[in-house]
A and B are shown apart, each in its own frame.
Chain A
Amino acid sequence: MGTITRTIGNSFTTSGVIKSSAIDNTTLSNVSALPAAIPTGFMVLLSTQTASASASISFTTGIDSTYKEYMFIWNNCQPSVDFATLGFQASTDGGSSYGVTATTSFFKANNREDNSFTSLGYDGGQDLAQSTNDVQLSLSIGSLGSRSSSGVLNIFEPSSTTFVKHFTAVSSDRENRDRLTNCYSAGYFNTTSALNSFIFRCNLSANITGTIQMFGIK
């Protein structure tokens, strides 16, 4: 019996069962999918995009009837221009154009780092009324150092051809004046056409540096 045959024998117990030492991560490197019966995660990471001074971040594939809810997480997005605001819009034509009519509300809580100013209230400067402008997700993000915006956006059933498309979002932003702004944006895209692409971008012609992930919720 050759050397390899003998070492193969070391990978089995005396009962013939495969030992744990016989299989490691490398062994599974050819596996690309699991059987449908296996209960895997119900929050599926569909795409991660990292921007470095990019004009925008777009998600143009993977948004369909597979999932009833999509969740976007933006992480430490920093604009290139002080006071810039991160927003998003939707497309019904695969990203050829962005500008779906939306009605939204917007409220925020503030606190300065020196505790000199706090507030909670509606912000009529950030909402939309049947507008195709970008939906505001954050406010006055600082462009330097550690200043950035992070948050979560949930969009429900974008592929519906019956209902309008509701969304809710919350962000935490460190402003250029060293002030925390906690933004709550919500509303709906007032269309019964399926939404199949989303774009995230800043106003003031600012570029974005940061990461945005898109998840599907099974």
Chain B
Amino acid sequence: MGTITRKFANNFLSGGTFAAAAINNSSLTNITDVPTAVKGKLTLISTQTASASASISFTTGIDSTYDEYIFKFINMHPSASDARLTFNLSTDGGSSYNVTKTTTSFYCTHQENAGYAELAYTTGSDLAQSTAYQRITSGLSNDNDSATSATLHLFAPSSTTYVKNFMLVSNYFNVDSPAGSYNFYIAGYGNTTSAVNAIDFKFDSGNIDDGIIKMYGVSKT
């Protein structure tokens, strides 16, 4: 038996299966995908970075592939003081953002000087069968170190049977003086049985100076 044949045989166990030594990291360099069964169950679909942007829209990738989408907002910084980060939904791929929504909104706040602390419902940020943009925050400070980070869950947007439930939590410091921590909670539904296939985010005044929004899909299986 020649040298190459002997070395080849050394990569197999006596039962004929490959030995561990036969496969290492380099053996896998041509692999670009793996079976769905072994993939992670949280998939990053899209990342968008704002730079003096009027808005950030996700117009692709929202379909029946996933029954839950998670949006992560990383340090969204407004150009204008007292600007509110908002969002709306679309059923026509982003041509228009005007889905009717009913929502609840409450916040928990505490000022840096401990002068004020409160847990309260805020009627100024909820919606009742309205097509207006839903607030993700109240008025933010646009100080250099001010931004909001948040998480939004959107459930089964492609359903043509049910309304589109969502819930969100954000934290930021507000425009008031002295500043304080605002912990903002939103929940509600897009009151439509049409599939939602796009979502738009923007401040209600000025631009998104800085920030990242990531869209994830949560695997159905």
- Taking Cβ atoms with an 8 Å cutoff, the residues of A that contact B are 2-5, 7-11, 18, 21-24, 26-35, 37-43, 68-69, 103-107, 120-122, 124, 127-130, 154, 156-157, 160, 162-164, 166-168, 184, 186-188, 190, 192, 217-218
Pick from B18, B30, B113: contact of A27, CB under 8 Å = B18
B22 at the interface (CB under 8 A from A): yes
B residues in contact with A21, CB < 8 Å: 17
A residues in contact with B111, CB < 8 Å: 103, 129
- Assuming the contacts A27-B22, A42-B216, A188-B171, asked whether A105 and B108 have C-beta atoms less than 8 A apart, the reply is yes
Are A35 and B169 neighbours in the complex by a CB distance under 8 Å? no
Pick from A22, A30, A107, A160: contact of B20, CB under 8 Å = A30
Are A23 and B17 neighbours in the complex by a CB distance under 8 Å? yes
Are B112 and A190 neighbours in the complex by a CB distance under 8 Å? yes
Q: What total of A-B pairs shows CB separation below 8 Å?
A: 184
- Assuming the contacts A2-B1, A121-B119, asked whether A39 and B39 have C-beta atoms less than 8 A apart, the reply is yes
Pick from A28, A130, A192: contact of B145, CB under 8 Å = A192
Are A157 and B149 neighbours in the complex by a CB distance under 8 Å? yes
Residue in B8, B12, B16, B118 with the greatest tally of chain A CB atoms within 10 Å: B16
- Assuming the contacts A10-B16, A30-B21, asked whether A156 and B74 have C-beta atoms less than 8 A apart, the reply is yes
Are A38 and B34 neighbours in the complex by a CB distance under 8 Å? yes
How far, in Å, is B213 (CB) from chain A's closest CB? 11
B residues in contact with A124, CB < 8 Å: 117
Are B149 and A156 neighbours in the complex by a CB distance under 8 Å? yes
A residues in contact with B32, CB < 8 Å: 35, 37-38
Cα–Cα, bound, A199→B171 (Å): 21
Cα–Cα, bound, A38→B151 (Å): 26
Query: Can you report 24 residue pairs joining A to B where beta carbons are below 8 Å apart?
Result: A2-B9, A7-B12, A8-B16, A9-B16, A22-B16, A22-B17, A23-B18, A27-B22, A30-B21, A31-B25, A34-B34, A35-B28, A35-B31, A38-B33, A39-B40, A105-B108, A120-B119, A127-B110, A128-B110, A166-B75, A166-B147, A166-B172, A167-B171, A168-B171
B146 at the interface (CB under 8 A from A): yes
Give B1-19 interface residues, CB cut-off 8 Å to A: 1, 5, 8-9, 12, 14-19
Are A122 and B12 neighbours in the complex by a CB distance under 8 Å? no
A residues in contact with B16, CB < 8 Å: 4, 7-11, 22
- Assuming the contacts A9-B16, A42-B216, asked whether A104 and B9 have C-beta atoms less than 8 A apart, the reply is no
Chain B 168-195, CB-CB to A under 8 Å as 1, else 0, gives 0101110000011111000000000000
- Taking Cβ atoms with an 8 Å cutoff, the residues of B that contact A are 1, 5, 8-9, 12, 14-25, 27-34, 39-44, 72, 74-75, 77, 108-114, 117-119, 144-149, 151, 169, 171-173, 179-183, 210, 212, 214, 216
Pick from B77, B109, B110: contact of A163, CB under 8 Å = B77
Cα–Cα, bound, A199→B151 (Å): 24
Cα–Cα, bound, A120→B121 (Å): 12
A21's nearest neighbour on chain B, judged by CB, is B17
6 further interface pairs, Cβ-Cβ under 8 Å (given A18-B18, A164-B173): A2-B9, A39-B40, A69-B74, A103-B179, A163-B145, A168-B171
B residues in contact with A29, CB < 8 Å: 20
Pick from A11, A129, A163, A192: contact of B114, CB under 8 Å = A129
A residues in contact with B22, CB < 8 Å: 27
A residues in contact with B43, CB < 8 Å: 39, 42
Cα–Cα, bound, A39→B183 (Å): 34
A residues in contact with B179, CB < 8 Å: 103
Pick from A11, A104, A184, A187: contact of B18, CB under 8 Å = A11
B residues in contact with A35, CB < 8 Å: 28-32
Are A184 and B183 neighbours in the complex by a CB distance under 8 Å? yes
B residues in contact with A10, CB < 8 Å: 16
How far, in Å, is B67 (CB) from chain A's closest CB? 17
Are B117 and A122 neighbours in the complex by a CB distance under 8 Å? yes
